[in-house]
Copies of this chain bind each other. A is one copy, B any other.
């Protein structure tokens, strides 16, 4: 392995680990979008958005093209939706699990939690 695969994976997930970057990827799922419009949909300063876009661009997960006076961003590949979908499923599951744990605690105040993590 030239660059250990698990390290590449870690970097990849770290690249996704920022609220603004997530929102950009979600917005781009509906198709290419100019920066101006991203800016209108995400509550963040222009230069901060640029910084986050630069992170996404460096990783290669999005591409940008200049069109007249605006810059348009697109997803680089079709698998991003799948990834975000998988993440959403796990999150839903995790939240449901925590909810289940809460219910369990409420129902039987003295036992239960011990068999779950922690």
Residues of A within 8 A of B (CB): 4, 6-19, 21-23, 26, 57, 59-65, 76-77, 79-80, 82-91, 93-94, 97-98, 115-118
Contacts and interface: CB of A to CB of B under 8 A. Distances in A.
Given A9-B19, A12-B90, A63-B116, 16 more contacts: A7-B19, A10-B16, A13-B16, A13-B22, A15-B17, A57-B118, A60-B117, A61-B94, A62-B117, A76-B117, A77-B93, A77-B94, A77-B97, A80-B90, A83-B86, A83-B87
A60 to B, nearest CB: 5
Oligomer: number of copies: 2
Nearest to A74: B117
A57 B59 CA distance: 28
Contact of A17 (B17, B23, B64, B94): B17
Contacts of A57: 117-118
